[in-house]
Amino acid sequence: MVPSLAEKQIGPERSVTDGPFPSSAPTAFDHAMGEAYNEAESRRIIGMVAATVAQLADWPKEKAFSVPYPPLAQYVLDRIALIGVLRHPAGYQLTPYRGRLSCPRTLADLMALCWSSPIETWPFLSLPDDEDLAGLLVELDPVQPSELCLGLSLKYAHPDAPDKSLEQLALLEARALYEEAGHLDGFPELREWLIAHPVLSKQEIAFLKLKRIGGLQVTDELIDTLFLRVHERYFSSTDEIAVCGHCGLVLVPIKDGSEERWQCETTKCRGRRSVLIGNVRHAAENLHHAARPIREFVIAGPRLRASEDSSRQAPSPLRDVEC
């Protein structure tokens, strides 16, 4: 008897009635329904999304931005796409302006999801219940990565340091430079110096490179680890840059109709409710400020506590009259 096509493919000693086919290597479709999208992988994907948001928030204006997207952004979109299509083929209302999507299909879709939907409601991932992942990755007024987003992006960037605080993670690269140079005992001096100098002009950076902080010579590598150029979104319509009188960090100009107002972007700063302008500088100074995670987790807290202590100790006009 001539063997059938199926028997030829299985082999001469095996027929279609002998039992199940031997298991084959998992395909991409198997991964989308299985371990590749379990809680641990879902948590890693959220970290990648958070890191993408943080990266785009400080994207240099002179650097081209086009499809294909930056590698991390493209990778996380691709990673999400397959599971969205397979798990939710009919789609759902994903963002306020796009309906019946199975997953974010563009970077604009992903960013809209980050400011419109708390991550615990994202239906295409399986997030762990034992970790607080509630909240938005992008906050508005002003538009910026949320504190949650910055924390998740730091943890994604340093998966080998799960026991470290966010402040420690924000300064991990600078700390490594001190450790390599044998000056780890001087690292606290760098931290205190950063808190006192969150904004520097190009000229101030040039003079800084002639100094030592905590025994370590200030190099371009250390500067690039700690600071980045003040983005044009911090420039007013007259190319002015204002510094918050509470936290000492750069304010964001917000257009309000025909007028312009300043807004602090530091999460816990009183400047979010009542803006106090410390000083005003000009874009021509080519200002640099501490990298965003350093601003949020290292500099803001001590400066805000010092500002609050100072305001409590300062006599009010009424007390002066009574004296």
Chain segment 170-209, per-residue pLDDT in tens: 999 999 999 999 999 999 999 999 999 999 999 999 999 9
- What confidence category does residue 131 fall into, taking pLDDT thresholds of 50, 70 and 90? confident
Percent of the chain with pLDDT over 70: 77
- What confidence category does residue 30 fall into, taking pLDDT thresholds of 50, 70 and 90? low
pLDDT confidence of residue 20:
46
- 205-233: burial string, b at 16+ Cβ within 10 Å, e else: beebeeeebbebebeeebeebbbbebeee
Average pLDDT, the chain: 82
pLDDT confidence of residue 86:
66
CA dist 264 to 74, 126, 160, 281, Å?
31, 35, 33, 16
For residue 73 the two structure tokens come to: 């952004």
CA dist 317 to 246, 320, 321, 322, Å?
20, 5, 6, 9
Helix (H, G, I), strand (E, B) or coil at 252: strand
Query: Regarding predicted confidence, which is higher, 68 or 269?
Result: 269
- What confidence category does residue 136 fall into, taking pLDDT thresholds of 50, 70 and 90? very high
Res 27 pLDDT > 90 = no
Helix (H, G, I), strand (E, B) or coil at 305: helix
Query: Regarding predicted confidence, which is higher, 268 or 1?
Result: 268
Query: Regarding predicted confidence, which is higher, 314 or 109?
Result: 109
Distance CA 197, CA 186 (A): 17
pLDDT confidence of residue 124:
75
Average pLDDT over residues 5-19: 43
Distance CA 63, CA 52 (A): 16
pTM: 0.80
- For the chain, the C-alpha Rg in angstroms (whole number) is 26
Q: What is the pLDDT of residues 262-274, one digit of tens each?
A: 999 998 898 888 8
pLDDT confidence of residue 13:
45
Distance CA 142, CA 222 (A): 29
Helix (H, G, I), strand (E, B) or coil at 162: coil
- What confidence category does residue 28 fall into, taking pLDDT thresholds of 50, 70 and 90? low
Average pLDDT over residues 198-225: 95
**Sign of CA pseudo-dihedral 266, 270, 273, 279:** negative
Q: What is the pLDDT of residues 95-125, one digit of tens each?
A: 665 666 667 778 888 888 899 889 888 877 7
Residue type, 250: V
Highest mean pLDDT among 21-35, 65-79, 152-166: 152-166
Residue 178 in contact with residue 214, Cβ under 8 Å?
Answer: yes
pLDDT confidence of residue 103:
73
Average pLDDT over residues 166-172: 96
Type and span of the H or E element at 265: none
pLDDT confidence of residue 122:
83
Residue 65 in contact with residue 50, Cβ under 8 Å?
Answer: no
Distance CA 225, CA 211 (A): 17
pLDDT confidence of residue 4:
46
Nearest 5°: the CA angle 29, 107, 261 is: 155
